[in-house]
Structure 1
Amino acid sequence: MTSLVIDARHNGPPGSGNGGWTSGLVAGAVGAVDGLVEITLRKPPPLETALAVTATADGWAVHDPQETLIASVTRRADDIPAVPPVSRTEALAASGRYPGHTDHPFPTCFVCGPQRPDGLRIFPGRLPDGRTAATFLVPTDRSPAVVWAALDCPGGWTVIDRDQAFVLGRYAVAVDALPEPDDECVVVGEPVRREGRKALVRSSLYAPDGNLLARAEATWIAVAG
């Protein structure tokens, strides 16, 4: 058994961990940060709480101190398709159209919250074809968890709108290479399909030279009510 703690600054919705950051920590805890696993978030991940990671018959489980199941982890065999890239100029223009600047369900989100000057400040705006794009200034900490976090919200904002908030439900990431600190990368997201409250999305991270760094596939779930 191993354990992990989600720092308070790495929140998504108030009081719980950002789904992408949390999933990256979990992947690291099971030794699979390169994306050989798929993480399903069962409950909002608590902050500043020791979470136990234990092996199960088909993967791993993450529990809080009260033994509530927070996340489950299974191995993933199939590849994740890349979202086609856009230029830095297109990504900057899209970020200027980011709806979360003025209307955000969780404005203090570590990844995409406009009220987080200490966050990743990834502001994915819509492209004409329905995809999203944003630039991403890589912090000094370029850990795999940062990559998992950076790929999270750009996918979600392909389906989030002012009338319907979504949260991350299931997530898988394939990391081909880590970005360099202080690089201005481009991240793009695309919607794949929608079934009831669930939306399947993908996202990809590109280096300044256009090389593909990482790919993600996620299921986002509409918040009831």
Structure 2
Amino acid sequence: MPESLTIDRRYRGPLDSANGGYAAGLLGSRVGSAAEVTLRLPPPLERPLEVRRDGERLLLLDGERLVAEAAHGDHGLAAPDPPQPDEAAAASVGVGAFGPPQFAECFVCGIRQDGSGLGIHPGPVPGRDGLVATVWVARDVSAPVVWAAIDCPGAYAVGEVGRGEPVLGRMTARVERLPDEGEPCVVVGWPLGDEGRKLHAGTALYGRDSELLALARQVWILPRAG
């Protein structure tokens, strides 16, 4: 029997659709600890979506429209050495939620006065060749929240200034361990090249003693010119 899920408005990315990493995590975590999720449409908020199995894939459907699909996947990345927490905190000083107005309330990188977002705003780490980083104290921990935490840092890594305008197209992630509630973490992102409108990035989450908790490869899509 098909499963149904509804994405609460708290988890918005753009003002009118879900944060891509959170939506990808909802589907990918149903596949297992390692999954590749491709987003086909902006994930709708506050209405039931169907999760349907199709062979080795899981599909997320809005009626007959395919929103996302997930399968087992390997990111094929080696994690970089993380900066120390004080370095990561210093890198993010003054960064804020740079980006177009539609991302102003993003669950991950927006600014919310009620504290309902993650407030992750990574900045460049001196001497680390494109690496951006910040700190995050884990809370409301779940697999989709961890996927979200390692979502927007990729946009910061590929954007010219701050978050920029790309939207998440694909995320291949492996979660080694969920952080404990209240665990101090370091989040990083780094660029992996580009192909036209497609920008590639890696992201990672580290916990206590620089333990690797999660690692992802991403494809970001720039809007069409004009």
Q: Same fold (TM over 0.5)?
A: yes
Q: Give CA-to-partner distance per residue, 1:81-114, whole Å, 9 cap, x none.
A: 21320011111111114252xx322110000112
Q: What secondary structure is seen at the aligned counterpart in 2 of 1:158? A: helix
Name the CA shift for 1:181/1:78 in 2 (closer, same or farther; >3 Å). closer
SS where residue 147 of structure 2 aligns? helix
Match of 1:110 in 2: 107
- Contact residue 75 and residue 216 of structure 2 kept, 8 A: no
1:93 aligns with 2:94: no
CA contact (8 A) 1:80 1:174 kept: no
1:208: how far off?
A: 2.7
How far, CA to CA, are the matches of 1:26 and 1:79 in structure 2?
20
Residue 26 of structure 1 corresponds to 27
- The answer to whether the 8 Å contact 2:169/2:218 transfers is yes
Q: What is the alpha-carbon distance in structure 2 between the residues aligned to residue 78 and residue 194 of structure 1?
A: 17
Measured in 2, the distance between the counterparts of 1:73 and 1:177 equals 20
Question: Which residue number in structure 1 is paired with residue 205 of structure 2?
Answer: 205
Counterparts of 1:63-74 in structure 2, within 5 Å, are 63-65=61-63, 67-74=64-71
1:48 aligns with 2:49: no
Partners of 1:162 and 1:91 in 2: CA distance? 18
Three-state SS of the structure 1 residue aligned to 2:136 is strand
SS in 2 for 1:123: coil
* Residue-by-residue CA offset, 1:126-182 (whole Å, 9 max, x unaligned): 22321110101111x211111101000111111123595111000111111111111
The amino acid that maps onto 2:99 is: H
The Cα shift of 1:78 comes to 5.6
Question: Any conservation in 2 of the 1:83–1:190 contact (CA below 8 Å)?
Answer: no
SS in structure 1 at match of 2:42: coil
Hey, what does 2:5 align to over in structure 1? 4
- Letter of the 2:190 partner, please give it: E
Q: Please give the alpha-carbon distance, in whole angstroms, between the structure 2 residues aligned to 1:84 and 1:192.
A: 16
- In 2: Cα distance, 1:69 partner to 1:143 partner: 24
| Structure 2 gap ranges (5+) | none
Instruction: State the aligned residue count.
Output: 218
Q: Which moved more, 1:154-163 or 1:37-46?
A: 154-163
1:224 CA drift (Å): 2.4
Two-structure CA RMSD over aligned residues (Å): 1.7
After superposition, give the CA deviation of every residue in 1:2-44 in whole Å (9 maximum; x if it has no partner).
121111010001110001110111123x342x11x21000000
Identity %: 41
TM alignment of 1:1-225, pairs within 5 A: 1-28=2-29, 30-32=30-32, 34-35=33-34, 37-65=35-63, 67-77=64-74, 79-98=76-95, 100=97, 103-105=98-100, 106-115=103-112, 117-128=115-126, 129-139=129-139, 141-162=140-161, 164-225=164-225
Which residue type is aligned with residue 215 of structure 2? R
TM-score norm. by structure 1 comes to: 0.91
Deviations 1:186-209 (A, max 9, x none): 011110111101011101111131
- TM-score normalised by L of structure 2: 0.90
- 8 A Cα contact 1:3 1:53, kept in partner: yes
- After superposition, give the CA deviation of every residue in 1:22-75 in whole Å (9 maximum; x if it has no partner): 0111123x342x11x21000000000111111112441211102x111011232
